[in-house]
Structure 1
C-alpha cells in the first residue's frame, strides 16, 4: 500500500511538472506566423505641449506614440532651434520625455526636430517628420529659408551638412559663435529652416564633422553668404556650394632623417619652394604629395649640419620663410646600404591612345641627378631607331618630370618608346632599368570636338572630366568659350573655373573676410561624345 501511494504521488507531481512546462511555453511571446509585415512608422498620438501650441512656459517636453518605440542617437539626431541648453532624457516604452535645465526664452518659437531618433520595436520602422513646434508667446514665427547644398569641386549633393542662421552683428565669426537656428541637409542635399522670426541674419553652411556647431576651417568644408546680412522679411531660397577653405598658417609638423634624405612635413599644402643652402654643393630637393619637402644628401658630407633658408608658398598663395637644419644620419653598423632600381611612370599609360597634341611624360618619384638623352629613343615597325634633339625635352623645376614634346614625336600610327639601361640616375645612386612601351595614336577620324562654355567674356579654366571620380582628361584656359579638339570618345563632365585673379588655378575663399572661393560651374548634363562627332552650343548658365 505504501509503495502504491509513493507511485501515485510521483505520478501526480510528474504530471504537474509537465503541465507547468506546457503552460510556460504557451506563455512565451512570439510573432504570430504568417500575416503582413509591419511597415508603418510610429506616430505621435499625444505631446506636451501640443504641436503649434502658444504661450507654453513649461520645462518638460513629452511625446507619446501609438506603439512601443526605441530611441537611438538622440544627441546626434535631435535638432532644437533655438538652442535650449542642457536637458535630461527619460525614455518610456511608448515615448520619451525631455526635462529642461533652464526656462525657455520669452517671445520665441521653438522647433524640436527628432529626425531619425525614434523607431518602433518590432520592425525598426523609423518615425517620419517627428517635429514639435510651439511658441512661448501669442505668435508662432512662420518665415522660412530653404535651398540646396552641393560640393563645389564635384557638384555632388551634400548630405548631413549644417546650415546655420546667426543673429547679425558686424564682428560675427562662425568659428567662434554657434548658429541661433540650424538644420542639416537630407540625402538629396536639401534643407529647410522653418519657423523663423523676422530680422537680420548671417548665414553659412558647413560640414560640422565634430558636431559642435562651430566651423573648423582646417577640416570642414564651408560656404557662406558674401553680403553682411540677410534682412529676413519673407520666405527666401539660398543655395550653397561648400569646399575646404583651410586658412590656418603653414607650420612645420615633423622632421624625419635617414642616411639618404631629410623629410619635412608641413601642416598644409605647398605650391612652390625655393631653397638656399649653406653648402657650396647644392643638394636636390622636391615637393612631395603637395605638402612635404624632401632633401637628398647626394654627395654632401654627412658630418656637417646643412642650413637651409626655405622660401615657401602655401596652397592659398601666402609666402612664408623657414630656417631649417638638416643633419643626415649615419648608417648603423648592422644596416646595409640597399640600392633598388629607379622607378618611373609613363603617361600616357600602357594601352592608352594619344592624339596629335599629346606629349609624353616620364614621371620619377625623386629628382634625377643625371641622364643621357641619347638613351631615350624611338623604335618603329620599319626597324628605325630615332633619337631626339635636345630641344625635344623639357624638365620641370625639381628635375623629376621629363616632357617629350608632341611636336617631336613621329607622326606614325604606332611606335615604341625605348629607354636604355641606366638612362636616368637618381640622387641615391639608383638608376633605371631597360624599358619599352608601345605608343598608339588615335586616328583623328575616331576623335570628336566639344565646344561651348560661358558666353560672357572672362577668365576661365575649362576642364573635361572623365568617370564618376571626375578625373581630369583635358584642360584649356580661355577668355571666352572653349573648344576641345581631338577628344577621345567617351562620357565627360564639362567644368569651368572662374579664374578671377588670372593665376591659372582655382583659389579658395576666406570666411573671415567673407571672400568666397572662386566660382565653379558645370554643364548640367553628362556629355556623350562619339567618334567623328562635333558637339557644339554646350552653354553653361551662370548667375
Structure 2
C-alpha cells in the first residue's frame, strides 16, 4: 500500500509539472473550479496623484485596482465637477484606469471625478459603486454639500436619468448657453447630492441631459428649476424640484363620470367595389356591449361632409324613440367622430337607426341602405362600488383624485367635503391612485414655464397608493393617510 501511494503521489506531481510548464500552458487557461462566487467589487490599490491631493498641476491621473477592470461604461458614467469645457479622455487597461485632462484647470478649485457605476471587475461585473476621486488645484479641499430630490411633476415619480445642476450665473439664458458649474446624477429614488462644492450661492436646475450637453436645448426635455438661488454651505437644507416637459401635449381630461379619450376603431378593410362606395360606420361597444362609464362614439372611416342628426333614430329595445330632450349629438373637428351624450342606465338594450341619407363624406360615399346598430349597456354586477377617503388631505390646494392604469389617467374626480371620492359604478381593474394639486381647477395637470417674467412651477402630483384593486360586484373601500 505504501508503494502504491508513493507512485500515485509521484504521478500526480508529474502531471502538475506538465500542466504548468508544458507547451499548452493549461494552467493559464483553466480557471479554478469550485469555491464561492466573487461578489467583492474592485479595490483601489494606488492613485497617482493620491486621492485628495492639493496643488494639483498635472494633466493625468492613474488609478490602479486589485483586479482587471471592465471599462466599457466608464465614458458614460464618469462625471467631472466642476464641469469642464472639454471632457477628459478615460481608458481602462488591465488593472489600471487612466484619465487624461484636456481642459485647462482653474486655480484654487476642487475637482471631483464621480465614476458612479463605471468601475467594475471583468469576471463577475461587481461594481464599485459611487467611487469618487478628488483633487484640488489650490491649498484646500472644498467640502460644502447640497442634497435634494427631483420628481417628475405629472406623475410624482423619480427618474434616474435626470441630473441636477448648479450654475454660478443667474440669468435665464445661462442654462441654455453655458455648462453648469457643478453636476450630480439622480439615483433610482430621484435623490442627488453635490459634494466638494465651493461655498456660495447658485442657481439650481434639473433636467434630462440629452446628448450630454448639460444644456436646456428643447422644450421636449424634462426640466426643473428652483424658484430662487440656493445657498450652499456647511448646513444646506435639502431641495425638491419638480420636472416637467413644457412641450407636453396635455391629455384631454377624463370625465368625472368616467371615460377619457380613445382613438376610433380602425375602419373595416375594403375588399370589393361595393365597400369602396359605402360609408364605413362603427361604435365603441365591443361585442355590442357598452360601458356606461365611457362616452358613446359613432366613428366613420372618413370625415363627414354632410351630417343630419334629425334623421337618426335613438330608440329603446322595443324601437320606441328616446325623448330627444334627454340626449344630444356633437361632431368633432375632423368629422370622423360623432358623440352621443345620454345618461345611460345599466343592463338596457338600445338601437341606433341610421337612414341611408343621414350623411355622406367628401367623396359622396354614404350607406348603401338603412342600417341599425344595436347594443346593450353593461349590468350593475359588471362594476364595483368605490369609496376612497384621504383623512388629512389639504383641501385648500384643490386636490383631485386620479385613477391611473398603464400610465394613462383613466378617471379624475374631485373630493367632496368629507375628503372622499365615492362612485356607485366603477370599472373593475388595478389602478394607481394619485392626487393632483389642481391650482387652476381645470381638472388636468398643467406644466410649468421658466423663461420670461412670469415663471411658473408645474402643478404637483403625489402617488398615494401604488395598487388599488377594484373588484366587480363588490364594495371597494379604502382609507388613506398621507
- Equivalence for 1:53: 53
Helix, strand or coil for the counterpart of 2:26?
Answer: helix
- Equivalence for 1:393: 328
Of 349, 360, 376, which residue of structure 2 is paired with 1:425?
360
- TM-score (normalised: structure 1): 0.69
Deviates more, 1:472-481 or 1:116-125: 472-481
1:382-426 Cα offsets, whole Å, 9 max, x none, are xx123334431230452544333333x4x4623244454746533
Map residues 183-194 of structure 1 onto 2, 5 A cutoff. Answer: 183-194=184-195
Cα distance 1:38–1:167, how it changes in 2: closer, same or farther (>3 A)?
Answer: same
Unaligned runs of 5+ in 1: 1-18, 248-267, 272-287, 291-336
- Equivalence for 1:219: 220
**Is 1:449–1:487's contact at 8 Å kept on the other side of the alignment?**
no
Q: State the shift of 1:174 in Å.
A: 1.3
Cα distance 1:525–1:118, how it changes in 2: closer, same or farther (>3 A)?
Answer: closer
Cα distance 1:223–1:169, how it changes in 2: closer, same or farther (>3 A)?
Answer: closer
Of 449, 457, 464, which residue of structure 1 is paired with 2:403?
464
Of 380, 404, 409, which residue of structure 2 is paired with 1:442?
380
Structure 2 Cα separation of the partners of residues 192 and 83 of structure 1: 15
Cα distance 1:511–1:345, how it changes in 2: closer, same or farther (>3 A)?
Answer: farther
Q: State the shift of 1:72 in Å.
A: 1.2
**Is 1:348–1:361's contact at 8 Å kept on the other side of the alignment?**
no
Report how many aligned residue pairs link the two structures. Answer: 433
1:41-96 Cα offsets, whole Å, 9 max, x none, are 21111112322333333222110010122311333211000023433434432112
- Equivalence for 2:458: 517
**Is 1:373–1:388's contact at 8 Å kept on the other side of the alignment?**
no
Matched, 1:406 2:342: yes
Deviates more, 1:171-180 or 1:393-402: 393-402
Helix, strand or coil for the counterpart of 2:395?
Answer: coil
- Equivalence for 2:230: 230
Of 420, 424, 429, which residue of structure 2 is paired with 1:486?
424
Q: State the shift of 1:197 in Å.
A: 1.6
1:488-530 Cα offsets, whole Å, 9 max, x none, are 2544333343443445543222121332123333435544455
Q: State the shift of 1:182 in Å.
A: 0.5
- Greater length-normalized contact order (CA 8 Å, ≥ 6 residues apart): 2
- Equivalence for 2:40: 40
**Is 2:172–2:451's contact at 8 Å kept on the other side of the alignment?**
no
Map residues 117-196 of structure 1 onto 2, 5 A cutoff. Answer: 117-196=118-197
Cα distance 1:490–1:397, how it changes in 2: closer, same or farther (>3 A)?
Answer: closer
Structure 2 Cα separation of the partners of residues 491 and 187 of structure 1: 24
Q: State the shift of 1:363 in Å.
A: 4.4
Matched, 1:105 2:106: yes
Helix, strand or coil for the counterpart of 1:429?
Answer: coil
